Copies of this chain bind each other. A is one copy, B any other.
Amino acid sequence: MLERIPKGVTAPAGFQAAGVACGIKSSGLDLALVVSTPPARSAGIFTTNLAAAAPVTVTREHLRRSDATTAAVVVNSGCANACTGERGMADARDMAVATADAVGCPIEQVLVSSTGVIGAYLDRGKVRQGIRLATEALSPGGHAEAAEAIMTTDPWPKDAAVRAVAPAGRFHVGGIAKGAGMIEPNMATMLAFLTTDAAVEPLLLQRALREAAETTFNAITVDGEPSTNDMVLALANGCSGVGIDDVSYPAFVEALHAVCHELALAIVKGGEGATRLISVGVTGAHSVAEAGKAARAIANSPLVKTAVHGGDPNWGRIVAVAGRAGVRFDLGRARVAIGGVELFRGEEIFSDREPAAAAHLRTSEVAITADLGTGGAGAATVWTCDFSAEYIRINADYRT
């Protein structure tokens, strides 16, 4: 039993947040702070990009050194602090030191995160000023400013929260996220910060986070580009008095998954230039892994994404992508439907149904389904958005 509630990352008890402007970006909020009292058990998932940014490296270190206990998460937007070498590492550490000083905790209990332009140095003075302002502004109602402060090209802030019931009682899960471009998680960076007042041991929290992320953050793509800075963190401070054990684990994962799902879809809907949310469901694959690979190939195809943008039920492009996805595929038994309208089945082409599929493409949430025809039970869903001229404009002009 899940109940959607307001207040995002500060919905769970014991969490405060703030978002402030300190001049890293030319305008708008650009530094967020989330603090847990008491310090929370924590877990993280990070970019697989070999050019991982300094804050990713520092946060990994701190999670290890603190035995996965975290008092504060500090995040800046406007500068990714990526490809910045030793100077960038020192800047990321300085951001943690300043936060530790401000909130009164050991440095390794601070996790740092950055998003924005790659290859620019962080301005320590501005960051320190932002941390001072954010510490003063901390409040149990600061979720909205925090969600806004982590945005780059995002069109709107993203937060979500639920109230859940475990055998031992009620607990809450909340979160904020940012997305926009360079979204194919492993990296214009996907960030998500999740909080809960359940008490969860770090290894169990890590397992739950991986499980929830697998079909949410790891199943979305805007442009097939994993970022240098991608990071998903989960903090569990136990303030609800509800402990998560093997019996209550499913209820906890369900709640965590619900928040991750809502944030992940919000990231896709707010993708650069996006006008439609597209779900790509693949069935009839030899395995779940092959279904996921085919779904991701279709979801990342510029030809499919532009066809959806243009309202054209061009199922041939979907078949063509499935055929080159590097997975087992039987053209003679393959099927493709748009909005539940089957347009192609092995030998048959249903051209007369295209107007119905085209009508579906004019709605804001588009469903593409493809059966690979292998007779296998492998199935997977990936979410993406359409590809518009606005994406080009945003990315051609991003730094100028």
Contact = CB atoms under 8 A, between A and B. Distances in A.
Interface in A288-334: 301-303, 306-307, 309-312, 314-317, 319-324, 329, 331-332, 334
Interface in A66-83: 80, 82-83
B83 A187 contact: no
B303 A119 contact: no
Contacts of A86: 347
Interface stretch (A16-24, A102-110, A220-228): A220-228
A349 interface: yes
Contacts of A324: 48-51, 186-187, 225-226
Given A312-B396, A312-B399, A320 B49 contact: yes
Interface residues of A, number: 68
Interface in A342-396: 344, 346-349, 387-389, 391-393, 395-396
A197 B52 CA distance: 55
A397 interface: yes
Nearest to A350: B119
A97 interface: no
B50 A302 contact: no
Contact of A119 (B309, B316, B392): B316
Given A225-B301, A344-B119, A316 B397 contact: no
Interface in A82-99: 82-87
Contacts of A388: 392
A144 interface: no
Interface string A117-135: 1111100000000000000
Interface centre among A119, A309, A387, A399 (most CB of B within 10 A): A119
Nearest to A309: B396
A27 interface: no
A26 interface: no
Contact of A302 (B83, B87, B223, B323): B223
Nearest to A394: B306
Nearest to A320: B228
A389 B306 CA distance: 11
B348 A310 contact: no
A255 interface: no
A375 to B, nearest CB: 15
Nearest to A312: B399
Contact of A83 (B121, B186, B319, B321): B319
Nearest to A184: B324
A344 B83 contact: yes
- Which 3 residue pairs across A and B have the least CB separation, nearest first? A118-B316, A310-B396, A51-B323
20 contacts: A50-B323, A51-B331, A80-B316, A83-B316, A83-B319, A85-B347, A85-B348, A87-B347, A119-B344, A120-B349, A121-B349, A182-B303, A225-B302, A226-B324, A228-B316, A228-B323, A309-B396, A310-B396, A312-B396, A314-B398
Given A186-B324, A310-B397, 5 more contacts: A49-B320, A118-B314, A119-B319, A302-B302, A309-B396
